[in-house]
Structure 1
């Protein structure tokens, strides 16, 4: 069964409203297969990583000064941290690879197995990109923080320095937001991708910031809506309970369930941010370089082209053919 008879064009210049509209349309048409792919590909890793809060808080729940960190299992925490990182990378790769497969196959159904094959082939590409972004961002933040707080180190100056540091973090986050999709589509190396982010974002930083801010508001609202029933249940259970001191097992269950709900909700709602970022990337490339327009002109000038075919100049598709 086809999801839609009208294929959404990715390589098209769009303004702020058009990008949000096409992102919501894409998710409305493909939310079920995307969520299914996320559940089977990234879900197991995220579920294991989501019990991390319970493991971190376990030594302090009901612990005495004599026990302290005696029950702290560092190996379990490391397993959960690694699993969570892998799950996040899998989630990002799943959404982006689904979008790229849609570009290649059009409205034809995309199976979870198709997405898994693409994610498996490009997992380390995304992982290395994420690690590089975290490393460079950490170095940049530490360097900026050292300079800022060296200049503004007292009173109101420290507050100003904090906001300047926060502004630099937001600036870098928005600036480098197209990098992951760019690495998958164009197959450029990490440092060239960073340079291209500066080129594509020229004059479009505020538009991209506005798009990501809207996504953040929607994502926060969704997380709040999901957590209201959970907090209501916990509060009511505590109010009706006769025990003044919460049971250790019960507390661990609440923490674990809360962690699972939080991580799964954030993961699902983060699809909007990834889809918006993907469409913004293609819009910026089309505005700066007119790749889609050139491809359409090339097709029109080729008399042998009788049926729509994947563009021969698409780096993603040409790479996967080999």
Structure 2
């Protein structure tokens, strides 16, 4: 079976059924493994390794903290203040905050890198012209701060929406004589609305990068595109997330064998060897995430292209506009031999 090269707009902007969108994600990686991988290595991998090192040190520290906590809460030695102190030491440690910040920034870089590469490849007029790391980095650098703010903005809007719906549900529950069935139904509606919004906004960054829209315009565009296609979008996210989770568990199971023998021992918090093993394990897990998560982002990108084509037909219009713009093939003269029968 011939696979698409993903060098023309029509390779992206076309209607695809459920299986074709998943297949297109893997075909795109197959066709652009080296240039896309080079972009991920240069732009995302350094921060992922920083996250892995900080996470490994945090994991090694957790071993000592768990040991101390077991000693604190063991029979006859219960001390709530000491347990709170141990937990406070964990949250106040630099490893914890470096891990959190590096994880947020690295996933932001990964999303921007994948979608910037896809958009650049889509907009290249010359199919033979490659997408370079410098071109991708220019877009990532320009949009990085805005993407971080968008993450916080989406989180804040979600919290406000859930708070408003919770207040409304509480008021309705009080008016309706606190019926358990009605209250349970209202809670289901609140969580259902939150889940609906999360699926819709999964297209936020591919819409924002390709269409260059603002924050609220991007949200409106996502709801417009996903309207009537929520279940297919949810199913795509569920299947791809399940596939990535299964592969990630396999990788995690293999890498955990490196550090598990010394993880929860008294020596694990002070042993240089255990710290090194924890760092190696965490870095390998970070590299595995860097290799797996782009498939989910690509699947969402092809869902976006599918919805755009279904609702607006951009790919069809581009094919129609290209009619007559391609140079006609020049017929070369051909000499026939006496024994040629010619063409009929």
Gap change, CA 1:110 and 1:52, over 3 Å in 2: same
Cα deviation for residue 286 of structure 1 reads 1.2
**2:77 aligned partner:** none
Number of aligned positions between the proteins = 299
Unaligned runs of 5+ in 2: 69-81, 329-344
Q: Deviations over 1:222-268 (max 9, x none)?
A: 10111122234445x359xxx96443135544544443333332232
- 1:116 matched residue in structure 2: 137
Q: Which residue number in structure 2 is paired with residue 285 of structure 1?
A: 308
Residue deviations 1:167-207 (CA, integer Å, cap 9, x gap): 34432221111111111111121111111111111110001
Q: Give yes or no for the alignment of 1:45 onto 2:64.
A: no
Give the counterpart of 1:266 among 282, 289, 300: 289
Deviations 1:44-79 (A, max 9, x none): 222223344456566654355497456865555444
TM-score by length of 2: 0.73
Stretch of structure 1 that moved more, 161-170 or 178-187: 161-170
Which structure 1 residue ranges, 5 or more long, are not aligned? 308-322
**Aligned pair in 2 of structure 1 residues 192, 205: CA closer, same or farther (>3 Å)?**
same
Q: How much does 1:5 deviate?
A: 5.6
Root mean square deviation, CA, Å:
3.6
What's 1:139 paired with?
160
Q: Return the structure number with greater relative CO, CA threshold 8 A, min gap 6.
A: 2
8 Å CA contact retained: 2:55, 2:99: no
**Shift of residue 28 of structure 1?**
1.8
CA distance in 1 between counterparts of 2:146 and 2:310 reads 26
Does the CA-based 8 Å contact 1:46-1:84 persist in structure 2? yes
Using the TM superposition, give the Cα deviation of residue 278 of structure 1 relative to its aligned residue in structure 2, in angstroms. 0.6
**Cα pair distance change 1:16/1:227, threshold 3 Å:** same
Counterpart residue number, 2:110: 91
1:200 equivalenced with 2:225 (yes/no): yes
What TM-score comes out, normalization by structure 1 length? Answer: 0.77
Please list the CA deviations of residues 129-164 of structure 1 after superposition, one character each: whole Å capped at 9, or x if unmatched: 323222212323344455567859999999877765
What SS class does the counterpart of residue 109 from structure 1 fall into? coil
Q: Which moved more, 1:87-96 or 1:157-166?
A: 157-166
Deviation string, structure 1 residues 94-146 (Cα, Å, up to 9, x no partner): 10011112113335433323322232233234333323222212323344455
Alpha-carbon deviation of 1:297? 1.7
